[in-house]
A and B are shown apart, each in its own frame.
Chain A
Amino acid sequence: MEWVMKALMIISLAVVVFAAVFIIFTIVKKGWSCITWEMVTSLPGNGFYIGKSGGFLNAIVGSLYIVLASTLLGLIVSIPAVFYLNVFLKKSSKIASVARLAYDVLFGIPSIVYGAFAFSIMIFIGMRTSLLGGIITTTLLIIPILIRSMDEVAKNVPSELYEASFAMGATRTETIRIVLRQILPGIATAILLSVGRAIGDAAGIMLTTGFSDTIPTSLTQQTATLPLSIFFQLTAPQAEVQDRAYAAALVLTIIVLLISLLGRFITSYFSKNKI
């Protein structure tokens, strides 16, 4: 019987590895042949989307702006929420269970719904599609991911650690700093998950960020992002424009890969003191 389970496990693993390798292979094969230095360092020229010269630096920078700002904002909101749930509220607290249910629901909501929600609010307050709109929408999108993944780690902090800290006369704020050290690897993982979601999301920002051929110089300007840039190029009728979409996808993949590697490095660095 054990060999059946083992075979199933190997098959599952093979499917996942095959899918990952196949996707990366396709992107690299198609993207590598047409990517040029000009593409990643210049803005789209006139007629870029019908096959003329230029690049998608605007989309790279726009995506990075949105990801960095929304991750930072998301952390500012979610870290206190996680500590409130785990340090200040008791384990059987009704507020905590309602909040966790709410985060789970928010976790499952498709990003287009966040986009539509933010879009309707932007219309209501008279705000135009902009970098700020994209940052806020993406922040809303990743907050449940950040909170739920950090919460799972914080819930598993041994009660002895709280006791050890309190027993020495630490206040709850001082204890939070101890717990923070313990869950730093978890925070790094949460950031990785949310960055992955934020940088790859097209639906949420389509309605709120707009698109632009320039690099935004203020929060109120529209901005391009890599997923939308890929989308526009891929839906163009010209084959050479479609190929360029793979170049943009390659850049997107490389950015995600670099962030993952950085995250792994940071996680292992901060894990050294973990009990």
Chain B
Amino acid sequence: MPLFQKLSDLKNEDFASPWANDGKSRLYTENLSLSIHGNRILKNISVELPCNKITCIVGPSGCGKSTLLKTFNRLIDMTEGVKISGNVFLGNENIVKAGFDDLTEIRRRIGLVPQRPCPLPMSIYGNIAYGCKIHGVRKRRELNRIVVKYLNEVGLWNEVKNRLRSPAVGLSIGQQQRLCLARSLAVEPEYILADEATSALDPQSSKIVEDLFVRLKEKYSIVMVTHTLHQAMRIADYVIFIYMGEIIETGTADEVFHHPKHELTKNYLSGVFS
């Protein structure tokens, strides 16, 4: 490689991952309960999130969907007054009991795509490289490869290759969300959590991100909280329906959407409440 190769000339090439993922660690909870300032938000949740599938967590507002999602990567720690009981496992690792050092590694393995895109205050290149840098990848050449690979993965490379050093905030909202997704993917997570990741996007960008998720499920397991039933119907393989902090029904998309067993699920699907 020439010493001063232009970044935009870089090619998307295969390379060995800096992280040795066995790839198929199970993410599951056992009797997970959570309260905030004494209010019980989650009640005895025991559920497994299948690998290489899109799992949609659906339910009415305030039912605890986002809280459950934030418990998976312990981002819920940022909320005051939280008490958790029960267990959340990623492989053999108990996420609920993880210390600070283990938590950084767990969070690398479980990426997050936020509700509103939030690029870091740095360049487009810096945004993708940041996660890798904090997890120990320092070599410029390796970082270049990662940036190219994951910008390609989310279909952003051709749109931004000539302005990789420009501020990430200059991108459109849809592009920013794809950048956030690429940023999460760059540290090679096993699970990707998406908290209403398309709710702030216009329909076209929303479609692009949805299609991306469908494509990415071959390599990653995706857990998505969504408010839009139609979206869940379009892309979900597996559905978890939560009501008032309890799991009412889980199953494949076909089972839950077309043959719901529980009365509450039927009512929710038919729009009696939302």
Residues in B80-113 with C-beta less than 8 Å from chain A: 80, 100, 103-108, 111-112
Contact with B along A232-275 (1 / 0, CB 8 A): 00000000000000000000000000000000000000001111
Select the residue from A90, A92, A164, A166 with max chain B CB neighbours within 10 A: A164
B104 touches A170 (CB 8 A): yes
A160 touches B114 (CB 8 A): yes
* Closest residue on chain B to residue A157 by CB atoms: B121
**B173: min CB distance to chain A, Å:** 12
Chain A residues near B105: list those with CB within 8 A: 169
Contact with A along B175-199 (1 / 0, CB 8 A): 0000010011001000000000000
* Closest residue on chain A to residue B107 by CB atoms: A169
Chain B residues near A169: list those with CB within 8 A: 103-108, 131, 134-135, 187
Chain A interface size range: 20 to 34
B78 touches A162 (CB 8 A): yes
B112, B116, B135, B169: the one contacting A167 at CB < 8 Å is: B112
* Complex Cα spacing A11 to B173, Å: 41
Chain A residues near B80: list those with CB within 8 A: 90-92
A181 touches B78 (CB 8 A): no
| Interface membership of A163, Cβ < 8 A | yes
B75, B100, B108, B167: the one contacting A171 at CB < 8 Å is: B100
Q: A162-B78, A166-B78 given as contacts; is B107 within 8 A of A181 (CB)?
A: no
* Complex Cα spacing A168 to B122, Å: 15
Chain A residues near B134: list those with CB within 8 A: 168-171, 174
Q: A162-B78, A181-B122, A275-B119 given as contacts; is B131 within 8 A of A168 (CB)?
A: yes
Chain B residues near A182: list those with CB within 8 A: 121
* Complex Cα spacing A92 to B107, Å: 26
Residues in A18-68 with C-beta less than 8 Å from chain B: none
* Complex Cα spacing A170 to B168, Å: 19
Chain A residues near B111: list those with CB within 8 A: 167-168
**A181: min CB distance to chain B, Å:** 4
Q: A169-B108, A171-B100 given as contacts; is B118 within 8 A of A272 (CB)?
A: no
| Interface membership of A161, Cβ < 8 A | yes
**A173: min CB distance to chain B, Å:** 10
B107 touches A168 (CB 8 A): yes
* Closest residue on chain B to residue A175 by CB atoms: B134
Chain A residues near B119: list those with CB within 8 A: 275
Chain A residues near B116: list those with CB within 8 A: 160
Chain B interface size range: 20 to 34
Contact with B along A64-93 (1 / 0, CB 8 A): 000000000000000000000000001110
| Interface membership of B73, Cβ < 8 A | yes
B107 touches A167 (CB 8 A): yes
| Interface membership of A178, Cβ < 8 A | yes
Chain A residues near B130: list those with CB within 8 A: 168, 178
Chain A residues near B184: list those with CB within 8 A: 167-168
**A254: min CB distance to chain B, Å:** 34
* Complex Cα spacing A164 to B80, Å: 18
| Interface membership of A110, Cβ < 8 A | no
Chain A residues near B187: list those with CB within 8 A: 168-169
* Complex Cα spacing A77 to B251, Å: 56
A159 touches B78 (CB 8 A): yes
* Complex Cα spacing A171 to B80, Å: 19
B121 touches A163 (CB 8 A): no
Chain A residues near B114: list those with CB within 8 A: 160, 163-164, 167
**B181: min CB distance to chain A, Å:** 12
A181 touches B73 (CB 8 A): no
**A78: min CB distance to chain B, Å:** 21
| Interface membership of A214, Cβ < 8 A | no
A178 touches B121 (CB 8 A): yes
**B163: min CB distance to chain A, Å:** 12
Chain A residues near B47: list those with CB within 8 A: none
| Interface membership of A221, Cβ < 8 A | no
* Closest residue on chain B to residue A183 by CB atoms: B121
Contact with B along A142-172 (1 / 0, CB 8 A): 0000000000000000111111111111110
* Complex Cα spacing A8 to B169, Å: 37
| Interface membership of B71, Cβ < 8 A | no
**B97: min CB distance to chain A, Å:** 17
Beyond the given A92-B80, A169-B107, could you list 12 further A-B residue pairs with CB under 8 A, ordered by the A residue number? A160-B116, A161-B120, A164-B180, A167-B111, A168-B107, A168-B130, A169-B134, A169-B187, A171-B104, A171-B134, A178-B120, A178-B121
Residues of A within 8 A of B (CB): 90-92, 158-171, 174, 178, 181-182, 272-275
Cβ contacts A to B, 15 pairs, < 8 Å:
A159-B78, A160-B114, A162-B78, A163-B118, A165-B120, A166-B78, A167-B73, A167-B75, A167-B114, A168-B131, A168-B183, A169-B103, A169-B106, A170-B104, A171-B104
